[in-house]
Structure 1
Amino acid sequence: MTMQQEALEAPLEPRDPVTRERKPLSRNRLVWARLRGMPRFWVGASVFALIVLWAIIGPLAYPWGVTDRDALNMGMGPTLRHWFGTNAIGQDIYAQTMSGLQKSLIIGLLAGVGATLIAAIVGSLAGYLGGRADSVIGWFIHLLLVIPSFFILVLLSPLTRGLSWLALTFFLAIFSWMIMAQVVRNQTRSLRNRDFVRAARYMGMPTRKILGRHVLPNVASLLIIDATLGIVASIMAETSLSYFGFGVQKPDVSLGTLLADGTAAALTRPWLFVFPAAVLIILLFAISLIGDALRDAIDPTSGVNRG
């Protein structure tokens, strides 16, 4: 056998591994690859993780509770005994800030994710069914968008005073899903005529399975962004309502109630206001960084025209 024949029969392999054709990345891997190159994502995720751990572990390693009073150190500034100082009746501000942080985190997570779930279900159902069902659901969404949700929550606040903070969480989720539902509705209208959705419909697949397997996965990126930013909006809404006395009610504590209690003494005893405000600002800033990074990773063109 000649050398030329041996060369023809030998398997063809690239001389350089770099020249081998790479498989295209899936959408999830592509998004993750973009996120890994965004410093603001790592900053936001790290700060948020530290805040969550602090809210969980912080009170366990601290000797003072939310309702404990120190009669010998009433209205005192930060010390080694009371890290964030005490209020006029001797309650520890660090313990109350940790309790308020826990409450605001839970309310924000539950309300933000809950609103996104409602938007996903209502929006996809309206866009997929079309016809009269779409018109009725669309009219209802527009009606809720016209009504100012903050004032509705203020009017509903007497109903939540006799209940726990879970009632406030429920109402925050109920009045926070409409804009995202419109987006999902429009996206579903374009997806319902795709070949894979038509094939599933012709095969007799029920509506709930079509939405769960073929429609919602294609709008999952939008829902993730909405859930992240919805947490920020829910925390801000709860803080505002609690600050004006329409949200979390005593004896429960949130960052909004602490800010309300510390506003009057912001100049004479600034630690009553500064520490809860700083925790709130850092929390919202961290979640906003995560949401902003997710938006740019999922849709790289979203930040093209930003200054």
Structure 2
Amino acid sequence: MSTVQTSEIGLKPAKRLTRGALIWRRFLRNKTAVVGAVGILLLVFLALLGPYLFYWKFDDIDSYNYLTEPSSSHLLGTTRAGRDVLALTIRGLGKSLIIGFLVALISTTIAALVGASVAYLGGWYEKSMLWIVDLMLVVPSFLVIAVLTRGAPEGDASWMILVVLLAIFAWPLSARVVRSLTLSVKEREYVLAAKFMGLSSFKTIIRHILPNVSSLLIIDATLGVGGAILAETGLSFFGFGVQAPDTSLGTLIGEGATMATTYPWVFLGPSAILVFLVLCVNGVGDGLRDALDPSSASGGQA
């Protein structure tokens, strides 16, 4: 039986896609995720470039306009203190983005290291760490953070204390999931080979275990941004988060909530930005989950 070679009919063999290219292709097929990614980029650019694009700064006071409605001079109006709502919203957006990304990065890193080490090392270390994790899961984190931030020193760096506290209470649940995945990975051949070759436990976890659970970590970090922003917003709304003279979206929403029906522009601007930001982050998180999960039908066929 004769066979026709590919070269004889002028066809080139299909180039095999890498895993990264397959993930990227599946992600791009999720329109919601793409719109969310574009939205996040636009908000980041607004937070970075906004202070240089508009005349009013977040700490400027217009002594001739107190609680004035939107106009050509103040696109989103002014507050009761005569501060430009648009400038405050841009400043609050930047602060909320910084807090969200830092909390997600720190908490995901802690969850990855603790969850993987607990499953890999086992023994008394596993029992003691699981006890700590279970204890932190039942602690009312909102109340604890509210009390601790009330006694925190004031200043420009006071929001860093909020970042640390949010990160401390954000990792336990993710650490349990990482532990479950590590239990299924640590008995595989490449992990056992690394162990028999004398590789230290830390290097084995970093080089061989965490890369194989990276899909979960990426998704957890992405969704953690939205969760951290909402947590910061809730705390700032009740006066426990970012403190004056600095501002965040939660601080602005808390100030505008008391006059949402009488002077709605103070409330609507920051609220709309917050809703749009969280929707974009969740859309990207869902898109990454579908792209990284080969069994998901949402991302289409690779």
Normalised by the length of structure 2, the TM-score is 0.92
Q: Which residue, 109, 114, 122 being the options, matches 1:117?
A: 109
Give me the whole-angstrom Cα distance separating, in 2, the residues matched to 1:279 and 1:147: 31
2:285 aligned partner: 291
Q: Which residue, 19, 37, 46 being the options, matches 2:38?
A: 46
Q: Which residue, 24, 45, 56 being the options, matches 1:64?
A: 56
Give me the whole-angstrom Cα distance separating, in 2, the residues matched to 1:32 and 1:131: 40
User: Do the aligned residues in 2 keep the contact of 1:160 with 1:168 (CA within 8 Å)?
Assistant: no
User: Do the aligned residues in 2 keep the contact of 1:77 with 1:86 (CA within 8 Å)?
Assistant: yes
Give me the whole-angstrom Cα distance separating, in 2, the residues matched to 1:259 and 1:12: 68
Give me the whole-angstrom Cα distance separating, in 2, the residues matched to 1:66 and 1:120: 38
Shift of 1:160: 2.8
1:261 aligned partner: 255
2:215 aligned partner: 221
User: Do the aligned residues in 2 keep the contact of 1:123 with 1:185 (CA within 8 Å)?
Assistant: yes
Give me the whole-angstrom Cα distance separating, in 1, the residues matched to 2:11 and 2:119: 46
Equivalent positions of 1:1-307 (< 5 A) are 13-16=6-9, 20=13, 23=16, 25-162=17-154, 164-301=158-295
Change (3 A) 1:17 1:267: farther
Change (3 A) 1:111 1:17: farther
Give me the whole-angstrom Cα distance separating, in 1, the residues matched to 2:125 and 2:11: 55
Change (3 A) 1:202 1:67: same
Unmatched segments (≥5 aa) in structure 2:
none
Q: What is the DSSP-based 3-state SS (H/G/I as helix, E as strand, rest coil) of the residue aligned with 1:160?
A: coil
Normalised by the length of structure 1, the TM-score is 0.91
Unmatched segments (≥5 aa) in structure 1:
1-6
User: Do the aligned residues in 1 keep the contact of 2:33 with 2:283 (CA within 8 Å)?
Assistant: yes
Give me the whole-angstrom Cα distance separating, in 2, the residues matched to 1:216 and 1:263: 44
Give me the whole-angstrom Cα distance separating, in 1, the residues matched to 2:5 and 2:87: 69
Give me the whole-angstrom Cα distance separating, in 1, the residues matched to 2:170 and 2:184: 24
- Whichever residue aligns with residue 27 of structure 2, its letter is L
Give me the whole-angstrom Cα distance separating, in 2, the residues matched to 1:17 and 1:190: 46
User: Do the aligned residues in 1 keep the contact of 2:51 with 2:87 (CA within 8 Å)?
Assistant: yes
* Greater shift in the superposed pair: 185-194 or 287-296: 185-194
Shift of 1:238: 0.2
Change (3 A) 1:209 1:31: same
* Greater shift in the superposed pair: 206-215 or 222-231: 206-215
Which string of whole-angstrom CA distances, capped at 9 and with x for unpartnered residues, describes residues 53-75 of structure 1?
01111111111111211121211
Shift of 1:18: 5.5
Q: How many residues align?
A: 295
Q: What is the DSSP-based 3-state SS (H/G/I as helix, E as strand, rest coil) of the residue aligned with 2:152?
A: helix
Higher RCO (C-alpha under 8 Å, 6+ residues apart): 2
- Whichever residue aligns with residue 233 of structure 1, its letter is G
Give me the whole-angstrom Cα distance separating, in 1, the residues matched to 2:128 and 2:292: 32
Shift of 1:148: 2.2
Give me the whole-angstrom Cα distance separating, in 1, the residues matched to 2:171 and 2:90: 29
- Whichever residue aligns with residue 102 of structure 1, its letter is G
- Provide the alpha-carbon RMSD of the alignment: 2.0
Which string of whole-angstrom CA distances, capped at 9 and with x for unpartnered residues, describes residues 126-173 of structure 1?
011012211111111111111122122122222335361000001000
Give me the whole-angstrom Cα distance separating, in 1, the residues matched to 2:220 and 2:152: 26
Identity of aligned residues (%): 43
Which one has a bigger Cα radius of gyration?
A: 1
* Greater shift in the superposed pair: 166-175 or 124-133: 124-133
User: Do the aligned residues in 2 keep the contact of 1:111 with 1:169 (CA within 8 Å)?
Assistant: yes
